[in-house]
Amino acid sequence: MIEVEQLSKSYGPREAIRNLSFQIEKGEVVGFLGPNGAGKSTTMNILSCIMPASSGSVKICGFDVFEQSLETRKLIGYLPETPPLYSDMVASDYLTFAARLRNVPSRKARSAVEQVIEKCSLKDVSNRVIGRLSKGYQQRVGIAQALIHDPDILILDEPTIGLDPIQIIEIRKLIQDLASSHTIILSSHILPEITQICKRVIIISEGEIVAVDSLESLTTRLRNGERLILKVRRSDGETIEKLRALDQTNAVVEQETGQFTIDCEPNANIQDAIAKLALDNNWGIVELKPASMTLEDIFLKLTLEENEVKP
């Protein structure tokens, strides 16, 4: 449904994104993750026909976003990083205005506005001035304007940024509801958000893709023999040295007395060796297990690795 090929964008001499290529299928909910300045908003602006790329191509349902922007704009609803809200307008008037901007025929505008008010639970505030609404409700109005022309694809740039925890939960719930009937690309730094809502993630760092994968296989891929946790009853100064001396260990850290994290080569399979060592030295194993990596770990690992190879 969305095909991005070799997409690059420079702002003057500054290259914001470089040769991004990825595909998104109909109905997918994809997380777009990356640290500040990674190029998330730049990519989303290009996908939403707000800004041209410097090179590369984007096709949405077969339409080229540069050549056939009228067609692609019909298919996409966009919530930019700073939603285009008019703070002195009444919410429902603003949505009527947004319908006109999006070329919704005037006879359908009213029902379009009613529908998005319903979908985004804005009924109670639809007669209020946008500037006086809470940030969470303003964000709902932002999502409502993105939905006004009933697009198949929703592009949401950091939809929960600046919201309080309750508002975050509500907006996430709204996005999850929308996910059943839309293809969604969602950018975020809030990693648990991506875990909750998205099946697949695209991770970018400094303008380049460092991973495109399902959350599951990302976790498995990175966890394979990566890190073990060992807890023992008895340890002394030599314990850590003996662990470090094992083949295929990269780093051993004593987190607290008797508890070690052991980083090893992928697929090292050194549990047996560790167990034997513990037995021979009478450490008394309490626990020996692979540490599960959180998305934070994965994210840091991928983005830091990416930075390491840079000069």
Ligand X SMILES: Nc1ncnc2c1ncn2[C@@H]1O[C@H](COP(=O)(O)OP(=O)(O)OP(=O)(O)O)[C@@H](O)[C@H]1O
The vertex-61 CA angle with 57 and 65, nearest 5°, equals 35
Q: Which is nearer to ligand X, 239 or 303 (CB)?
A: 303
Tell me if 186 sits within 8 A of 33, measured CB to CB.
Answer: no
* Residue 229 one-letter amino acid: I
Q: Of 70-109, which residues contact ligand X (CB under 6 A)? A: 81
* Binds ligand X (CB under 6 A): choice among 24, 28, 42, 140: 42
Q: Which is nearer to ligand X, 37 or 62 (CB)?
A: 37
To the nearest whole angstrom, how small is the minimum distance from the Cβ of residue 40 to ligand X?
A: 3
* Residue 62 one-letter amino acid: G
Q: For Mg ion, which residue has the nearest CB?
A: 41
To the nearest whole angstrom, how small is the minimum distance from the Cβ of residue 125 to ligand X?
A: 27
- Residue 34 near which of Mg ion, ligand X, none (CB within 5-8 Å, type-dependent): ligand X
Q: 10 Å Cβ neighbour count for 35?
A: 15
Q: Which is nearer to ligand X, 21 or 224 (CB)?
A: 21
* Binds ligand X (CB under 6 A): choice among 31, 39, 136, 142: 39
The stretch near ligand X (CB under 6 A) out of 37-45, 176-184, 220-228, 285-293 is 37-45
37 binds ligand X (CB under 6 A): yes
**Distance separating alpha carbons of residues 256 and 253, to the nearest angstrom:** 9
Q: Which is nearer to Mg ion, 93 or 208 (CB)?
A: 208
- Residue 84 near which of Mg ion, ligand X, none (CB within 5-8 Å, type-dependent): none
52 binds ligand X (CB under 6 A): no
Looking at the chain, list the stretches that DSSP marks H as alpha helix, in order from N- to C-terminal side: 40-47, 69-75, 91-101, 106-119, 135-147, 165-179, 191-197, 215-223, 237-244, 271-280, 295-308
Tell me if 17 sits within 8 A of 9, measured CB to CB.
Answer: yes
Q: Which is nearer to Mg ion, 41 or 92 (CB)?
A: 41
Tell me the site size for ligand X, rule CB under 6 A: 12
Q: Which is nearer to ligand X, 11 or 134 (CB)?
A: 11
**Distance separating alpha carbons of residues 67 and 297, to the nearest angstrom:** 40
Helix (H, G, I), strand (E, B) or coil at 35: coil
* Binds ligand X (CB under 6 A): choice among 2, 20, 29, 38: 38
Q: By rule CB under 6 A, what string of x and - marks binding of each residue 5-34 to ligand X?
A: ------x--x-x-----------------x
Can you give the binding site for Mg ion, defined by CB under 5 A? 40-41, 81
- Alpha carbon of 107 to those of 33, 75, 93, 149, 310: distances in Å? 40, 20, 15, 13, 56
How far, in whole angstroms, is CA 28 from its chain's centroid?
Answer: 13
303 binds ligand X (CB under 6 A): no
**Distance separating alpha carbons of residues 44 and 55, to the nearest angstrom:** 15
Positions in the binding site for ligand X (CB under 6 A): 11, 14, 16, 34, 36-42, 81
